[in-house]
């Protein structure tokens, strides 16, 4: 994976490596090796796969001057090049995990609790997208270890959102974090989330009003959820 820095701007970016997995807690987490090479305006980070039958999945998260992220970048697949502009000040977190190439379903240990409403927090990613994060306890939107760990073994989550006094749009999610995109810039939206198991549904979270940032969108982001 290559991250290119502009040679005309003085950029101080800190790259933090974080390795996460969604295997059962009884399985010992496995360290990963990474080779880093910096030449001119290019930083190359090569993660060494544990064996040839695995591939890497993950994301790059850029933290702004506040607790909310300014960029969320899904790792490109199949060697496709990806180019974007990065800010001068934020730190960038790279989270990757190895998975078997033929493994299409993660093994998860999260349990559904239908009795308690979830706590929902929201952070802006781009002017047209936000990152939602929730749980039974209040947490920050980008709390390390949650984005790829909190997937459910016996249920799923439902997210709903809308412009004020408009029709709800729903998404089903297997994990406790997701990116909602294709929103209007500088527009207030109402969000909510609940747990689901079999044919039963939990209590909707307290409604959260979040206003998207101003400015042009930075392109469509990949979502982990199904829209309906």
- Answer whether 174's CB lies under 8 Å from 151's CB: yes
Q: Is the pLDDT of residue 21 over 50?
A: no
- Cα 208-126-71 angle, rounded to 5 deg: 110
- Return the CATH number of 119-227, one of 3.30.70.1350, 3.40.718.10, 3.40.50.1820, 2.60.40.10: 2.60.40.10
Q: Is the pLDDT of residue 26 over 90?
A: no
- Which pLDDT band holds residue 193 (cuts at 50, 70, 90)? very high
Q: Is the pLDDT of residue 17 over 80?
A: no
- pLDDT, position 61: 67
Distances (CA, A) of 4 to 14, 31, 86: 13, 26, 9
How confident is the prediction for the chain on average, in pLDDT?
68
What are the boundaries of each domain within the chain? 2-100, 119-227
Confidence (pTM)? 0.49
Cα–Cα distance for residue pair 140/58, rounded to 1 Å: 19
Q: Is 115 left (phi over 0), alpha (psi -120 to 50) or beta?
A: alpha
Which of 110-114, 151-155, 210-214 has the least mean pLDDT?
Answer: 151-155
**pLDDT tens-digit map of 69-110:** 456 677 777 777 777 776 666 667 676 766 665 544 444 555
Q: Shortest CA distance to 94 belongs to which of 140, 46, 126? A: 46
Residue by residue, DSSP assigns 47-114 as EEPSSTTEEEEEEEEEE-SSSSEEEEEEPPSTT--------SS-EEEEEEEEEETT--S----B---S
More confident residue, 148 or 83: 83
Distances (CA, A) of 60 to 30, 70, 211: 20, 11, 24
């Amino acid at each position: 994976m290559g991250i290119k820095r502009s040679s005309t701007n003085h950029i101080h970016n800190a790259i933090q490596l974080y390795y996460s997995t969604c295997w059962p807690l009884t399985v010992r987490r496995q360290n990963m090796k990474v080779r880093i090479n910096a030449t001119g305006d290019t930083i190359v980070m090569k993660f060494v796969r544990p064996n040839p039958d695995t591939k890497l999945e993950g994301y790059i998260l850029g933290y702004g001057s506040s607790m909310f992220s300014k960029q969320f970048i899904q790792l490109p697949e199949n060697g496709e090049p990806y180019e974007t502009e990065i800010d001068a000040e934020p730190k960038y977190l790279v989270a990757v995990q190895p998975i078997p190439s033929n493994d299409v379903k993660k093994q998860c240990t999260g349990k559904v609790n239908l009795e308690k409403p979830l706590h929902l927090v929201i952070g802006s990613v781009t002017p047209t997208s936000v990152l939602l994060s929730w749980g039974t306890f209040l947490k920050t939107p980008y709390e390390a270890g949650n984005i790829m760990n909190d997937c459910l073994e016996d249920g799923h989550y439902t997210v709903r959102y809308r412009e004020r006094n408009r029709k709800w749009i729903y998404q089903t999610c297997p994990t406790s974090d997701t990116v909602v995109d294709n929103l209007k810039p500088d527009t207030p939206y109402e969000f909510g989330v609940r747990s689901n198991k079999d044919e039963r549904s939990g209590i909707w979270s307290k409604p959260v009003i979040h206003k998207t940032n101003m400015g042009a969108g930075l392109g469509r982001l990949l979502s982990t959820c199904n829209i309906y």
